[in-house]
Structure 1
Amino acid sequence: MPNEPGTIELGQHELREIAGYAAECARRTLSVFERSRPADARPREAVEAADAFARGGRRTRDLRDRAWAAHRAAREAEPGAAADAARAAGHAAAAAYLHPKASAHQVKHVLGAAAHAARVEELASGDDAEAASGTLTWARDHAPAAVTAVLGRLPAAPPGGGRVGEIIRDLDAALRS
């Protein structure tokens, strides 16, 4: 069936692969958040919910609630690496809700967890942009086929978004090349 104008094809298997990838990216930074706020399990629960969806679980309200909870944890954390680690977790759970819209904004849903994970590395190293290169290389090398396939159907990442927006654009360009 042809797509409606302004939409892309987006299969359930692709959503699961993207959510699993996002969960892997976010998991790499959970310890940063947990050292800062050891009693706050919301980011870990968001990553676990994304994993459960990626393994075949249903896309439920609980999954969405865990994404929002991780973002609340980010707002409650001290600004810096811990907050970005929680944002990575929130983006991981939210990746299951990627929309089949042909919108550059959707790129953030595909790559948001990876970009925030890279930002955690920068911030943890004293805001050294070079520190993110290892995380970005890992994110590029571990991106499943669904990530590059879906990015290929979307416009390039949009401008703006501060440093995380820059990271998203860099990773988007690298995955498209």
Structure 2
Amino acid sequence: MEPRTTPSLRPHLDLPLAKIRAVTAFNASCADLVLGLFESEHPQDARPRDAVDAARAFASEEPRSRRHRTSAVSAHRAAKGRGQCASHAAMAAGDAAASAYLHPLARATQVGHILRGPSHAALALRKKAGGNVDHDRSLDVFLERVTPAVVEVLCLYPQPSRGTSEVSGVMSSLDSLIRRMAGRQC
């Protein structure tokens, strides 16, 4: 199907809700890997857990609702003023809930809804390890969670440019590795 265009927006993509749910399931799976890093330091703060629970519920057919937006923002707020490891874990949780709002617009910025959460999760694990890990090998645990549906969705979007932040660098690496895994599909 050819993307449709409007004068003020870039082309719209054919992006069924089932594919968005797959992206959210991937994000929740990645956030699950590091959620304990936040909870061990801040056991009384349930905001990141609530965000991952909201993401899982959406991935399991719950309709999108205000719950997903508010839990994402709350988890992101929980990240503020925390140590780097806990902060990245909370951001991964918030991004998992926010991934339910991936838009079908052919913009590279939308790749953040797909890969920013896993990138924060990767950084949380790196910070826990003291940074003494090989960059690409540290992404293997996240690449193992990538499903064909996630690859298909990622390949709909243009590849984003590499930014200057640490998260952007990891996101760019994940994007390249997944596209390379997809081979000619992307």
| TM-score, scaled to structure 1 | 0.93
1:22-33 matches, cutoff 5 A: 22-33=27-38
Candidates 54, 57, 62, aligned match of 2:67: 62
Matched, 1:47 2:25: no
Change (3 A) 1:91 1:160: same
Percent of aligned positions that are identical: 38
Give 1:16's match in structure 2, choosing from 16, 21, 25. Answer: 21
In the alignment, what sits opposite 2:124?
120
- 160-169 vs 116-125, which moves further: 160-169
Unaligned runs of 5+ in 1: none
Give, as a single letter, the amino acid of the residue that structure 1 aligns with 2:77.
R
In the alignment, the residues of structure 2 paired with residue 60 and residue 161 of structure 1 have an alpha-carbon distance, to the nearest angstrom, of 33
Q: 1:85 aligns with which of 86, 89, 98?
A: 89
Deviates more, 1:61-70 or 1:125-134: 125-134
- Partner secondary structure for residue 153 of structure 1: coil
Say which SS state the counterpart of residue 40 (structure 1) adopts: coil
Q: Distance in 2 between matches of 1:169 and 1:55?
A: 28
CA distance in 1, matches of 2:90, 2:155: 28
Q: Contact 2:30 / 2:145 at 8 angstroms: preserved in 1?
A: no
**Larger CA deviation: 124-133 vs 80-89:** 124-133
Alignment partners' CA distance in 2, 1:76 and 1:48? 23
CA shift, 1:9, in A, is: 1.6
Q: CA 1:23–1:107 in structure 2 vs 1: closer, same or farther (change >3 Å)?
A: same
The match for 1:157 among 149, 155, 160 is 160
Cα offset for 1:76? 3.8
Measured in 2, the distance between the counterparts of 1:161 and 1:16 equals 29
Count, aligned residues = 175
Q: CA deviation at 1:112?
A: 1.2
String of CA shifts for 1:92-142, please: whole Å, max 9, x gaps. 0000000111111111110111111100011111223527734x1121122
Q: Contact (CA 8 Å) 2:75, 2:94: kept in 1 or not?
A: yes
Give the deviation of 1:144 after TM superposition.
1.3
Q: Which moved more, 1:51-60 or 1:156-165?
A: 156-165
Identify the residue that residue 183 of structure 2 maps to in structure 1. Answer: none
User: 2:155 & 2:123 partners in 1: Cα distance?
Assistant: 24
- Tell me the C-alpha RMSD between the 2 structures: 1.5
Which letter maps to 1:115? S
For residues 129 and 168 of structure 1, what CA distance do their matches in structure 2 show?
A: 17
The list of structure 1 runs, each at least 4 consecutive aligned residues, that deviate by more than 6 angstroms after superposition, is none
Deviations 1:144-172 (A, max 9, x none): 11211111111112221511111111111
Cα distance change of structure 1 residues 17 and 161 upon mapping to structure 2, 3 Å threshold: farther
Q: 2:98 matched to 1:104?
A: no
Considering only CA atoms, is the larger Rg found in Structure 1 or Structure 2?
A: 2
Deviations 1:23-45 (A, max 9, x none): 00001001110111110000011
